[in-house]
Amino acid sequence: MGAARLTGSSSFPDTASLVERIHTCRAEELTRYEQLLELSHAQRKAIIESDIDSLVWATEEKSRLIQMIETLDLRISGLIDDISMLVGDGSQIHQCRHPELGSGFGCPLNAKIARTMKEILEAERENQALLEDAISVMGNEIRQLDAGGKAVKAYQVRPQDASSGDLDETF
């Protein structure tokens, strides 16, 4: 992917512009992960409130965001390949040129993404536990309904030798 963009062109992108593109993609990726976290919280609320429509909507939105993140990851990989072709390795991508976001080596966006992903995983574990509890409760309710239905049927069964008339006629 990267080689095709770099070869045959009289104006090669410089490393700084490639690093800036990676940074922009990572910032967008962080935004998408934050949206995923919000949707995980929306799913929790939907599970607690037994709001199936909201749960389905949030799940579909999460799938859409995951596809967007995968696309961003592919774009970042291509940019890293381009840097590798220019400088021989991708080591320069770790030097953040945005001091307002942090200092030292490494881009603070990476740390923010990692924290947000950790929060998403925790929220997903909690949602999974809530769903398992909800399924268990529903299973118990279904078993109770089934037992109640069998009891009603038992009361409806008449002895075969009983007449089909009124109770007054039978006694």
- Residue ranges of domains in the chain: 2-123
43, 127 Cβ separation under 8 angstroms? yes
CB atoms within 10 A of CB 142: 10
Closest CA to 2 of 78, 74, 73, 76: 78
Type of residue found at 147: A
Write out the two tokens for 126.
């909690």
Q: What are the pLDDT tens digits along the chain (171 aa)?
A: 444 444 444 455 788 888 899 999 999 999 999 999 999 999 999 999 999 999 999 999 999 999 999 999 999 999 988 888 887 755 545 455 554 444 444 678 889 999 999 999 999 999 999 999 988 887 777 877 777 766 666 677 655 555 555 555 554
Provide the CA 91 distance to its chain's centre, in angstroms: 31
Is the model's pTM score more than 0.95?
A: no
